Structure 1
């Protein structure tokens, strides 16, 4: 099994680094030995210094292919941070306005509220998931999104982005915009807005405004090198197993839902639409670079003021069902109540993950940016798996 790499250039004493390495190695090794995950890449930066980097286990267990630091992963909802930041760059450039209606760019996107009225959905609503939209994976198999043929962005649908947004807009909202919170296809709709505002297809917009300026060449809506893409696994009665061509994975924390429709082959389909909420592919290191850019103020992408806008609670008084103790900013969750969340992070910590088995967080008070990618959904994500909590507790045991 590949060994951990603990880097010596840090503000912490070497003894502290060794302890961090041992704690994280143990958490990763236990998860792999228990067949909860197959492989992982875990990166930790503190105050701008890399203090831990490890690739462990297998990218392809059946082929005996080890995980590497630069392995590519299906990002699922980790895509949201890249697309949300792209939208914020367009805000900085004056091409988008947070409180402008979506119809300024998508004039036909007018889903009615539950009372039948069509009320304005703003860019801020999309970024904060307060638009009233939902996800098909929260519904039963005969739910309204399924009946409308909406894709959650991880299946092989044969749709274009415009097709899918049109279908999303045909379904009535769960609530009037701005009155509640629900994790949703908002970022997919945001992707269509970005296309109109920038005049570029979404993949080119993300490259032009985020990954390109940061020199991140591994993250896109297609695999930069298909040979580096990790195989996807999911939980089973005897532990992690290789995903089939189409998986419908139950969500234990959502009563009555059909579950996630996941087609790993989507990553190789050149015609798959660019799902802003779930469709990107990339390595852990690219995400860490973006998180660090935001943590230290946003330059060269965003002003510090726009980063603070992203890190502001845009859901006061609202409960985030699957994430107790958390609020939502613009593109990611914020820790509102550490006790309710049951984790040792500092209040205000940013966090999100992805259904293919990923998690990330930024604790600015502690100077921490952490990326934990696995190739085993749902175990590697929160909610759904224990691995993110294991990694978090291992880090904070010595902070």
Structure 2
């Protein structure tokens, strides 16, 4: 990987549009030629203007269906910013409070701390992943979430949202809330909180609070067009292949890995997972991110948007994301050299296990959305594509 500069230059030193397009095209074309991804949709906005928009490769390799700009994708953790913003809209409306305990809305959600006490978990701690919760895919196959029958929100579990959250609440916390950070099912619990605070099912709450006010019509918890949905692929020693009905994607030694059921997208009875269950387009996400980059209106007042983008994990280690902190719904760049990405401090970033990444660089007024249909390869940590894309955008700065 090229050397990462610790302090990227001022906005006027970003590459011109032709140079930027050529560099990004090379990254996309190389990833497709090397069969690391079947296809991708990449959108780049600079100061509110879309300067790069490309659908490349195949959405479905077996059917030879080309990728389109409006292709639908299983969002996995790209769901989190939508649901996090929905919670903050409720904060703005006075229906939630960041430092109120979760039990205000979920009276029975009282997972014990390691010392046996029953500490309060706040809405802020759910949003910042400092609540002490975990993820099944980050534990051993016989870990406590697996023993409790908890779903990570990407398999076909047959559970309801309420039942899954009840099961999460039976598992002891990894640490006392607020004392450490761990990527977790916190956004799924937050989804249940939103249902109670809004008095609506989560899918309708997110629609009313976030997507409808933005004019977003393709993104939600229900599939709006099966003929537009990208097929899901993963890599193994034999090469890129279509995912099985239940695909366990390995991560690293000692953990089970991701349990992905691509057919979940077609199941109208699958519970709405706030952390991983949405379906949508790259263009819809760009609209949301640009709204946030511009201060939050009409969704959020600027002070609440700024609270969202503060590092709420100061002094905490964000394995597996070195060099990053965490705001209320996404990571915040602390140290570009440690992170291995050339984006300036303060840049927001997150991805999704089905192969997606996005970033918002307010210093350079730059928003990047990159959706692929190759699990892990298109996200970080996991694959090269997000880092290669970032290096191409910031090369020469």
What TM-score, normalized by structure 1, do the two folds share? 0.95
Matched with 2:336 is 338
Native 8 Å contact 1:234 1:377 kept in 2? yes
Q: Secondary structure at the match of 1:180?
A: coil
Query: What do residues 243-293 of structure 1 show as CA deviations (whole Å, max 9, x unaligned)?
Result: 0100011003xx300110000000000100000000000000000000000
Counterpart of 2:89?
89
CA contact (8 A) 2:15 2:393 kept: no
Counterpart-to-counterpart distance in 2, 1:139 and 1:15: 42
8 Å contact kept, 1:98–1:122: yes
RMSD: 1.3
Instruction: Give the counterpart of 1:379 among 369, 377, 380.
Output: 377
The alignment of Structure 1 onto Structure 2 pairs a total of residues equal to 387
Asked whether the 8 Å contact 1:335–1:349 carries over to 2, the reply is yes
Q: CA deviation at 1:239?
A: 2.5
TM norm structure 2: 0.96
Match of 1:113 in 2: 113
Long gaps (5+) in structure 1:
1-10
Q: Does 1:360 align with 2:358?
A: yes
Asked if structure 2 preserves the Cα contact closer than 8 Å seen for 1:246 and 1:262, the reply is yes
- Structure 2 distance, partners of 1:292, 1:265, is 31
Retained in 2: the 8 A contact 1:131–1:176? yes
Matches of 1:131 and 1:344, distance apart in 2: 30
Q: Which residue of 2 aligns with 1:4?
A: none
1:230 equivalent in structure 2: 230
What is the alpha-carbon distance in structure 2 between the residues aligned to residue 198 and residue 13 of structure 1? 45
Of stretches 133-142 and 13-22 in structure 1, the one that deviates more from structure 2 is 13-22
Q: Which structure 2 residues correspond to residues 214-253 of structure 1 after superposition, within 5 A?
A: 214-252=214-252
- Higher relative contact order by CA 8 Å / sep ≥ 6: 1 or 2? 2
How far, CA to CA, are the matches of 1:14 and 1:162 in structure 2? 47
- Distance in 2 (alpha carbons) for counterparts of 1:398 and 1:49: 22
1:398 CA drift (Å): 5.4
CA distance in 2, matches of 1:288, 1:120: 35
Alignment partner, residue 264 of structure 1? 262
Q: Could you say which residue in structure 1 is the equivalent of 2:275?
A: 277
* Pairing 1:1-399 to 2, within 5 Å after superposition: 16-252=16-252, 255-397=253-395
Tell me by how many angstroms 1:13 deviates: 11
Conserved 8 A contact 1:24-1:394: yes
Distance in 1, matches of 2:239 and 2:33, equals 10
SS at match of 1:388: helix
Distance of aligned partners of 1:258 and 1:14 in 2 relative to their CA distance in 1, 3 Å threshold = closer
State the alpha-carbon separation in 2 of the partners of residues 25 and 50 from structure 1.
15
Question: Following superposition, which runs of at least 4 residues in structure 1 exceed 4 angstroms of deviation?
Answer: 11-15
- Gapped runs of 5+ residues in structure 2? 1-10
Measured after TM superposition, the shift of residue 349 of structure 1 is 0.3
Task: Please give the alpha-carbon distance, in whole angstroms, between the structure 2 residues aligned to 1:260 and 1:109.
Answer: 25
Q: Does the Cα contact within 8 Å between 1:73 and 1:282 map onto a contact in 2? A: yes
Which SS does the other structure have where 1:298 is aligned? coil
Deviations 1:165-204 (A, max 9, x none): 0000000000000000000000000000000000000000
| 2: CA distance, partners of 1:86 / 1:354 | 19
Is the CA contact 2:323–2:338 (under 8 Å) kept in the aligned structure 1?
yes
Local SS of the residue matching 1:366: coil
8 A contact 1:16–1:398 mirrored in 2: no
- Deviation of the 1:12 alpha carbon: 7.9
Tell me how far 1:226 sits from its aligned partner.
1.3
> The residue matched to 2:124 in structure 1 has which SS?
helix
Change in CA separation of 1:101 and 1:339 when aligned onto 2, cut-off 3 Å: same
CA distance in 2, matches of 1:58, 1:38: 5
